[in-house]
Amino acid sequence: MVYSIPMMQQINAFFEKFADALARFDTKTMSLLYNSPCTLLSDDTTTVFNDPTKLEGFFNRGASLYKQIGVANIRHEIWSKHQWTDRMIIAKVNWRYSDILNNLLYNCDYQYILKADKNDQLKIIMSVSINEKERLAAWKDSLSVTQ
């Protein structure tokens, strides 16, 4: 297999752009970073989006939740990245959500499968939530204990 060094380097810039859009609640840009169709997968749900506007609507609901719980800063760390083919990469990313004072609210892990489109731009074709639901619930539970 021939590895494309530029594509592996592109993954870092891709997630920088994604993190910036997420931090600004820019759901339009976020949806443009996904392929159409794409799949969002967790233990509880499997959702396929064939329409970018419906995906953007889904992200709008998530952005509202983040605003409601006080997310003001979002950081990411790519824990691993592997090129499967000349056009596909899998990446594991840890997301850290903090408040305005940069106090950690919660963190969670995702796996992403990305594929280069016809213009050689990476797009997410599958997003797998590893533990966000559990981590968010644990954070919310910790609030009720301290109050």
What value does the mean pLDDT take over residues 76-81?
Answer: 95
Quote the CA–CA distance of 16 and 144 in Å, as a whole number.
33
- Chain segment 114-136, per-residue pLDDT in tens: 999 998 899 999 999 999 888 88
Fold exhibited by the domain 5-141: Nuclear Transport Factor 2; Chain: A, (3.10.450)
Q: Which pLDDT belongs to residue 147?
A: 55
Domain limits, the chain: 5-141
Q: Which pLDDT belongs to residue 100?
A: 94
- Chain segment 80-111, per-residue pLDDT in tens: 999 999 899 999 999 999 999 999 999 999 99
The pTM for the full model equals 0.89
Tokens of 57: 């609507």
Average pLDDT, the chain: 91
Q: Are 73 and 23 within 8 A, CB to CB? A: yes
What value does the mean pLDDT take over residues 39-57?
Answer: 96
